[in-house]
Amino acid sequence: MTMMDADKMRLAIKLASFNIKGHFEAFREENRTLLKAFCPEPELQHFFAEFSFDGEVEMGMFRYHQANCLKKSFDWEEDFQRALSTNLLILGSGTTGDPVALDLIDY
């Protein structure tokens, strides 16, 4: 299994009938820089570059946050900062509102 399974993300987006091309937004440099500071893995950079949209994406019971809000979340959200300080990157949330995070140590 890869660190960030892009194939599974593509399938989830397809099943959600989400228009990737219609909602694509280039991954901004300030977000890429923040991501590199906490996780220098190129695969993670590519994942966020490919799955960067102009808003949140709902897929079944999961809501994927807007990739270009990483820096904003880091600057303004205490929960996001606290998660990063313990090597967790919040990617989205479940239907209950609970955060869904990626463990930056072992993925």
For residue 40, tell me if it sits in a domain: yes
For residue 70, tell me if it sits in a domain: yes
**Cβ contact 64:20 at 8 Å:** no
For residue 73, tell me if it sits in a domain: yes
pTM above 0.75, yes or no: yes
Section 24-39 average pLDDT: 93
Task: Please identify which residue in the block is written with the tokens 């019971």.
Answer: 61
What pLDDT does 54 receive? Answer: 96
In the predicted structure, residue 57 carries a pLDDT above the cut 80: yes
Count how many domains the chain has: 1
3-state helix, strand, coil in the chain (%, to 5): 50, 20, 35
For residue 1, tell me if it sits in a domain: no
For residue 50, tell me if it sits in a domain: yes
Domain limits for position 45: 6-103
For residue 13, tell me if it sits in a domain: yes
